[in-house]
Amino acid sequence: MKKVILSIAVVVAIGLTSCKNEAKLTETTETTEAVMEIAMAEANFGVRGNCGMCKTTIERAVNGVEGVANANWDVDKKKIDVSFDDTKTNEMAIHNAIAASGYDTEKVAGDLSAYDELPGCCKYDHDMEMNQTAPKESEGNSEENH
């Protein structure tokens, strides 16, 4: 168990570093931002989680999907904003990546064995309300009913 936690901590540390580097890269390429923007699709949807460690795990899972440019999970709203290249990936791939890391999304239930390996503080309540403030522009108006 200790081994697992240690390796998670290492991966998290690496993840954090690479996230920061990516953020810097996008800042320095401001001139091409307008061009990039056109190719980028946006998605925002509910994801359950408790704390900053959940945020790291969720965002690392999303950033691991090829084509994802940016991911930001809001701990208060239980909601993630993702921008991605829709020629390389799609919203369902992002849902699946989050679910594989153990977290529930609006569309896909989190993998239970991954959930079991989450640190105690991250074992979120499966009945938790997600997406606590609805986004103004929702792409999926057809999935209001669950």
Q: Does 122 bind Cu ion (CB under 5 A)?
A: yes
Whichever of 68 and 118 has its CB closer to Cu ion, that residue is 118
28-34-41-127 Cα dihedral, nearest 10 degrees: 50
| Shortest separation between residue 65's beta carbon and Cu ion, angstroms | 20
For Cu ion (CB under 5 A), the number of binding residues is: 5
**49 near 75, Cβ under 8 Å?**
yes
Q: How far is CA 137 from CA 2, 5, 107, 111, 119, in A?
A: 43, 38, 18, 29, 34
Whichever of 8 and 40 has its CB closer to Cu ion, that residue is 8
| Shortest separation between residue 58's beta carbon and Cu ion, angstroms | 9
Q: Does 130 bind Cu ion (CB under 5 A)?
A: no
Pick the piece of the chain touching Cu ion (CB under 5 A) from 3-11, 44-52, 109-117, 135-143.
44-52
Whichever of 40 and 53 has its CB closer to Cu ion, that residue is 53
In angstroms, the CA 37 to CA 29 distance is 12
Which residue in this structure is represented by tokens 């509910």?
46
Q: Mapping DSSP to helix (H, G, I), strand (E, B) and coil, where does residue 67 land?
A: coil
Residues 50-109 close enough to bind Cu ion by CB under 5 A: 50-51, 53-54
Helix (H) or strand (E) holding 42: strand 40-46
Binding site for Cu ion (CB under 5 A): 50-51, 53-54, 122
